[in-house]
Amino acid sequence: MSATKTLEGRTAVVTGAGAGLGRAEALALAELGADVVVNDVGPSADEVAAEIRALGTGAVAVTGDVGDWSMGDRLVQAAVESFGGLDIVVNNAGVLRDKMLFNLTESDWDDVIRIHLKGHAGLSRAAAVHWRAASKSAGAPVYGRVVNTSSEAFLFGSPGQPNYSAAKAGITALTLSTAQGLARYGVRANAICPRARTAMTSEAFGEGEGAPGGLDIMAPERVAALVAHLASPAADGINGQVFVVYGDMVALLAPPTVEHKFTAAGGAFTPGELDRQLTPYFDGRDPSRSYAAYSVARLDTTGTQKTP
């Protein structure tokens, strides 16, 4: 195996791979030698599969909605039947139904949760079944990589995206559960919070500045480079992590910390004691100082973030 083909002989499934970030991720994996099952809801999946075959690796398109639970089994089956196995899952597919909470409809909520969170869960479950069985058959850990797509929206609680923020928070928790539950079988699971200029995000970014080498500072290929690394053998020691990635940087997030612990003097809080301890602690507190991790936004040096 050549140094540049670190995924030669591996098979990947990428959802939402017909355009944008998913397409860039599928091509990045193929460039490292992986065969790819390309999933999307329309004919663009076939077009990307053709692009991948032109690179010299195998590709098949599986058209369908990842929000259908059975699609996970279909995608794993396509990988096994077409290429003999499954090594990498990149959960990327998603939709937007941006609304303020008071304007949110049931379908706005259901569509986003179904495609993002249920879509991630359905394919992850099917892959987990495959890897667990393969590991038990082999009597040893197997090669498995899961890269899930979260978002900084789960860190901020985007006010116009209560559905999307909730879905991405769920995906982050799903990633941690996947990492812990499947590690014994050889699987590594991590989440990325990407920013990339795609059709879905075209309204979010301005022109930007500073694109070394002529590559757009918000190009999806920048994100795909990290995804390809997390899918590689070199990432065997990376598990249960969350990364913010865009522009010229990759930022590893630390887990939440405890700011302050309140303890009941008598072993159980009374309303009066809660009042005495909590009320003065929060008196005069900056309203922006909440669980929302807005400090992460200060990482942005791309010059592309539009402000209201």
Comparing C-alpha atoms, which of 41, 204, 227, 212 is closest to residue 146?
227
**Active-site residue, 290 included:** no
Instruction: Name the catalytic one among 44, 150, 151, 232.
Output: 151
Candidate list 44, 168, 232, 246, residue with the active-site label: 168
CA dihedral defined by 93, 96, 97, 99, rounded to 10 degrees?
140
CA–CA dist 259, 110 (Å, integer) = 34
**CA pseudo-torsion sign 302, 189, 34, 25:** negative
Q: How far is CA 254 from CA 47, 65, 244, 261, 262, in A?
A: 39, 33, 11, 20, 23
**Which phi and psi angles does 12 have, rounded to 5°?**
-120, 150
Token pair for 214: 């002529």
- Catalytic residue, candidates 164, 185, 232, 246: 164
What DSSP designation does 158 have? -
> How far is it, in rounded angstroms, from Cα 226 to Cα 63?
26
45-49: list long-range contacts, CB under 8 Å, 24+ apart: 45/17, 45/18, 47/18, 48/17, 48/18, 48/19, 48/23
136 noted as active-site residue = no
Q: Which residues are catalytic?
A: 151, 164, 168
